[in-house]
Chains A and B, each alone.
Chain A
Amino acid sequence: METQAYTAIAIFLITYAFIISEKIHRTIIAMLGGAAMLVFRIVDYEGALHHIDFNTLGLLTGMMIIVAITARTGLFKYLAIVSAQKVGGHPLKILVALSLITAIGSAFLDNVTTVLLMVPVTFSITRQLQVNPLPFLISEIIASNIGGTATMIGDPPNIMIGNKVEELDFIDFIINLAGIAIFIMIITIAILAFLYRKQVKTTDKLKKSIMNLDAADEITDKRLLLKCMIVLAGTIIGFFLHSILDIESSVIAITGAFILLYLVGESYIEDALEKVEWTTIFFFIGLFVLVSGLIETQIISLLADKALAFTGGDLTVTSMLILWMSAIASAFVDNIPFVATMIPMIQEMGYSMENIEPLWWSLALGACLGGNGSLIGASANVIVAGLAAKEGHHITFVKFLLIGFPLMILSIVIATFYIYLRYLF
């Protein structure tokens, strides 16, 4: 290997070590790592720009704007109260209902945004019922990671895979991942309901108080809600049709976002753009440039060759290795840099293997479901734990690990059977 390659490996490993240590904000480290690749001439400016996936960035930004405006309508609170009333105010059934709303929301919106919308209403309902909110919050964390697995826009790993792999579109993700995500969700929620059945009990009087709530009052602006629903529905239909229309998913998301801003008026623009998680956007930019250093110096192709030599080029062994490695890694380190590194590796494997589609689904399932393995496995987990701690309810690392890790392993076992039976048998 040339000196440049060794320098690229050193920059990559140092950056990765800092990201894992969480001593400095991950965005600062990723951007500095990316900058180092440019400063040390590992990649040139044009090459770095070429490797930044603007489709991923556009999709994320567009959806963040749409969600920021929709969040102001009180829709999630309305849905939560209506579902709580539909199940007669029964706490365990409410736990299931709120988890399902979180899962569905996470499939079409960003996981972090979904849990940020669900946590306040969860506190509100559990206080009214005088039950411990922790079983509800833990179930919602787990549901958000499973729900996010179901679609191309549900979780950052899927967004990255969907945008980097030209052969895969929005419908492919639904066809290949939604069914298994729903199955895993049903099994997981049944186990959670069984585990928490004794912890979430209340009186008939308190159940009745939920039934007396006026859900409609939670909708703060009906006209705004209508506009948001039209644009959100149009955007999701656009995702379904993007490969037929030959329009990139990012174009659909950005167009939807700015149509909504046009409809709601310019008073919303400042707030909506402020709500975009720019730290996440820049984190992606830094990582794309960082990984480009490994691609340009042929390190990724070398790693792919080594991996293929290890698995003997066997598709089944390679799929299983990617699935389990992604899951375990994602449980304890950020899955975004992991997936950013794995994508070019799998693309490289495509030159030596005939059908690498199972490898993409293994990566998606492993990286998304792996987030349930520990409290630091996904951003949504950390956000909910932080909000709960601020309200005096502590979700400790061990408390979450004891529930999340076995459930994550179970989901990966199910995914193993799914991958094998559907693609490799």
Chain B
Amino acid sequence: MLTYEYNTEDLTIEEKKNGNDHEFTILIIKEELCEKLLEVRYFFENNDIHTDVLFYTHNKENEYHIIVRNDMYVSFLLLLFQHQLIQSLKW
């Protein structure tokens, strides 16, 4: 079981399991973190796999819906951690 912590003053993360996917809804509160999440998005959008992590921007300001394939779950969280969107990550 992989657990993570984040600063609730910066963002909120909702996560649920849907079949073979993990679905995240991330609401960025601290505006400057949007750029960091965009970097995560560009990483997955520019790699060779099209369905590993899919980003959807909703009309609601700074809210992102992200569908993460089961086998990419750890990679996705690691990248969030690398970009300091989450503060800790542990098994």
Contacts and interface: CB of A to CB of B under 8 A. Distances in A.
Contact of B49 (A214, A217, A390): A390
A244 to B, nearest CB: 42
Contact of A123 (B54, B57, B58, B60): B54
Interface string A207-243: 0010011100110000000000000000000000000
A150 interface: no
Contacts of A119: 50
B65 to A, nearest CB: 7
Contact of B51 (A213, A214, A217, A391): A391
B56 A124 contact: yes
Interchain residue pairs A-B with the least CB separation, the first 4: A217-B57, A214-B57, A391-B51, A120-B50
B3 interface: no
Contacts of B65: 209
Interface of A: 119-120, 123-124, 127-128, 209, 212-214, 217-218, 387, 390-392
A127 B54 contact: yes
Given A128-B67, A209-B65, A123 B51 contact: yes
A5 to B, nearest CB: 48
Contacts of A124: 50, 54, 56
Contacts of B49: 390-391
B58 A212 contact: yes
Interface residues on B, range: 10 to 19
20 contacts: A120-B50, A123-B50, A123-B51, A123-B54, A124-B56, A127-B21, A127-B67, A128-B54, A209-B56, A209-B65, A212-B58, A212-B60, A213-B56, A213-B57, A213-B58, A213-B59, A390-B50, A391-B49, A391-B51, A392-B51
Contacts of B54: 123-124, 127-128
A390 B67 CA distance: 18
Interface in B18-71: 21, 45, 48-51, 54, 56-60, 65, 67
Nearest to B59: A214
Contacts of B67: 127-128
Contacts of A391: 49-51
A168 to B, nearest CB: 38
Contacts of A120: 45, 50
Nearest to A128: B56
Nearest to B55: A124
Nearest to B52: A391
B58 A387 contact: no
Scoring B45, B57, B67 by chain A CB atoms within 10 A of each residue's CB, the highest score goes to B57
Nearest to A215: B57
Contacts of A127: 21, 51, 54, 67
Contacts of B56: 124, 128, 209, 213
Contacts of B57: 213-214, 217-218
A214 B50 contact: no
Given A214-B59, A218-B57, A390-B50, 5 more contacts: A123-B51, A124-B54, A128-B67, A214-B58, A391-B49
Contacts of B21: 127
B74 to A, nearest CB: 19
A120 B56 CA distance: 13
A202 to B, nearest CB: 13
Contacts of A213: 56-59
A123 B56 CA distance: 12
Nearest to B65: A209
Contacts of A212: 58-60
Nearest to A124: B54
B87 to A, nearest CB: 26
Nearest to A391: B51
Contacts of A128: 54, 56, 67
